[in-house]
Homo-oligomer: A and B are copies of this chain.
Amino acid sequence: MSRNPDWVKALQPSSPQGHELLQQERSSSKLAIEPLSEFLFGREAIERKFNVLQVLQSEPVFNKSQNAFDGRVQRFETALARAKKLRRLVVKHGWKEEDRRIAAELIGEPLPYALHEGMFLKTLLEQGTDEQRKLFYERAEKYEIIGCYAQTELGHGSNVRGLETTATWNADDKTFTLHSPYLTASKWWIGTLGRTANYAAVMAQLIVDGKSCGPHPFVVQIRDLKTHLPLDNIHIGDIGPKFGYNTMDNGFLLFNKVKIPHVSMLARFSRVDPKTNQYIRPSSPSLVYGTLTWIRSTIVMHAGAALAKGVTIAVRYCAIRRQFRDMDAPDSVVEEMPVLNYTLVQYRLLPLLAATFGLHFTGKAMMELYQENQKSMQANAGKGDLLPDLHAMSCGLKALASYTAAEGLEVCRRACGGHGYSSFSGVGGFYADYVPTTTWEGDNYMLTQQVARYLLKSARAVLNGESTSNDTTNFLTTFRSRSDSAPVFDVLNFDADLVQAFAWRAASMTFDALKKRDDQKMAWNDLLVDFYRLSKAHSQYLVVKNFFESLSALQTAGSLGTETPAVFRKLFQLYTLHTLDSESSDFLLSGAVTVRQIEQSRTTIMRLMKEIRPHAVRLVDAWGISDFQLDSSLGRYDGKVYEDMFHRASELNPLNGITIDSNPNSDVLFRSVGGENVKSKL
């Protein structure tokens, strides 16, 4: 920390000032922010967030100003303090799970208890018997024990069946022996395990009477409850620094023939009978299937908000930053243009701004469908008709949504020019912490096979006349019945045609893939690239469809007047035409559009951007992301970008407390005042 001399303190940014510019932006659009936010998120959620924010901001431990400077150990220490404080606030204020989740989102860094609060509790609750819930869940809920969910191994991530950790049933003393036969059997990437957890839910290959029964979950104590040291024959540690997520202690875990009692195997669905020593198979595998679908749906739901953080920062800063004069301006104009007025900047940011809303509406629809399915499952003794659709949709949309958000955050960072690269922009950290979402809960590329499998199956049913009616079989049937007449959709004049064109492309690609697989008997592996394209096409159709359907809700909301729905129609068109242009070869191959339409859509995109541009700042304001959450010099609501950048660099940066010796022939590196100079490394 250092202080600025008086003459520096007296300096102002050159005019126009950032706060004036954002003020102008906000007054040049008549979009009604408050009713729009309320339409998007609901009054209750907005109030809840406001209340949680007030509490967090009054606690010094949540002050983020040192985050950018701290090393890994310091960051973990602070994150642990924050996790503890958050837990105490939950107790103190009687916060619900939803409040806790909002708080974690506002704090904005992965906290060391996260996997305890998420997967560990969920696993105990869903897969434990009543006895096991009493024994483990009740203590875990009160944080008397802290757990994690240990599935992935050093040698195996996606493929659960390939896990190497074993749990061997000992018929003689009615115990299991947990063992890691290879180095690659080490549990790896396990959040909350590295330093924090004293319990783990461990996925291990169950072996009964010499036969493998596949992976099953076991609850195991791993650290002493008093000393917090690992128990005998258990080796645990943090796996080291990562591209992001460094406030989390992702860990490793090895077992050397550790005996655990019979009660350790979570036995709600399958178990070992201690009397007969027989393995008893799971009664309802589809419930587990449901959990994964739920997790993926929340990723879809969250992707719009994740991307909106980057878009908010980039749009605000690009409205303030000025570079160069307009190339066609007369010489008399000396003023530089706000960067956001350049079409090439708009082209990068405005389709992403549109995407935040498209993803938001899609996430909402996805969650509603999930709830609907849960209800129908409860009504039908665990059987949900919607489950196959829901599963496929959640796979494809998880991949598309997380890809869009991750890529988009990086586009936003780069659109901020050099300053986007500074940690004070905030965007780099968001990207680094978000990007693993593209890999976990099903790798985005792997998942596309699930979607393809579902679409091929649906297409086969349509061909055989065996299909039940749903959106997928409907668009496949439509395609079949109309493919001879090869319609070209009027995508530039009718929004409904635009949606139809997306359905047509997905249907056409489905039948192409089916032909290759069923008629030409092509190898599955040789079709993976086709399947990837197909899944993307289908998921893009779903986003476009949900975005389109939300337009009528916007119109009928009443509170929004006419201008807001009109702008959202343009956002829908921009997102959709931009996607169409990016994927044009698919559309052309399917015959849904012509080359001329692609050409014209590019002109339309330029027009739409011009029309959306004046509303850009208000549209990001509608997301309602607080300065506390953004923690960004560039994205400040008040536009005081340069003052904040300078303050952080000059006054908060610990490197500026150090004076070096720059002479290459001097062994001194850092000069210290009143102590020894640092020269140990030379």
Chain A residues with CB under 8 Å of chain B are 2, 4-5, 7-8, 11-14, 61, 68-74, 76-78, 80-81, 83-85, 87-88, 112-113, 143, 146, 152, 154-159, 162, 164, 180-186, 188-189, 194-198, 227-229, 233, 235, 237-245, 249, 252, 254, 256, 322-324, 326-328, 336, 341-345, 347-348, 410, 413-414, 417-418, 420-424, 428, 435-436, 438-440, 443, 445, 523-529, 531-532, 581, 584-585, 588-589, 595, 598-599, 602, 606, 642-643, 645-646, 648-650, 652-656, 658-666, 669-671, 678, 681-682
Contact = CB atoms under 8 A, between A and B. Distances in A.
Stoichiometry, as copies per complex, reads: 2
A647 to B, nearest CB: 10
Contacts of A661: 228
B327 A525 contact: yes
A196 B662 contact: yes
19 contacts: A11-B182, A12-B182, A70-B71, A77-B669, A154-B646, A159-B323, A162-B322, A238-B653, A238-B656, A240-B653, A241-B653, A252-B646, A326-B525, A343-B525, A344-B445, A344-B532, A348-B445, A414-B439, A589-B598
A664 B423 contact: no
Contact of A195 (B188, B342, B595, B658): B658
B237 A14 contact: no
Contacts of A8: 235, 254, 256
A139 to B, nearest CB: 12
A598 B586 CA distance: 10
A322 B154 CA distance: 12
A13 B184 contact: yes
Contacts of A239: 422, 645, 649, 653
B146 A662 contact: yes
B650 A237 contact: yes
Nearest to A403: B414
Contacts of A185: 14
B664 A143 contact: yes
Most buried by B among A61, A421, A642: A421
Nearest to A531: B344
Given A238-B655, A418-B439, 6 more contacts: A240-B423, A242-B421, A245-B421, A327-B524, A347-B528, A585-B595
Nearest to A633: B240
Contacts of A85: 682
B157 A418 contact: yes
B164 A418 contact: no
A681 B77 contact: yes
A326 B523 CA distance: 10
Given A439-B417, A649-B239, A194 B7 contact: no
A659 to B, nearest CB: 5
B525 A180 contact: no
Contact of A523 (B12, B76, B328): B328
Given A159-B323, A228-B661, A249 B642 contact: no
A469 B328 CA distance: 30
Contacts of A347: 528-529, 532
Contacts of A252: 646, 649-650
B5 A235 contact: yes
Contact of A438 (B4, B326, B414, B602): B414
Given A154-B646, A529-B343, A197 B662 contact: yes
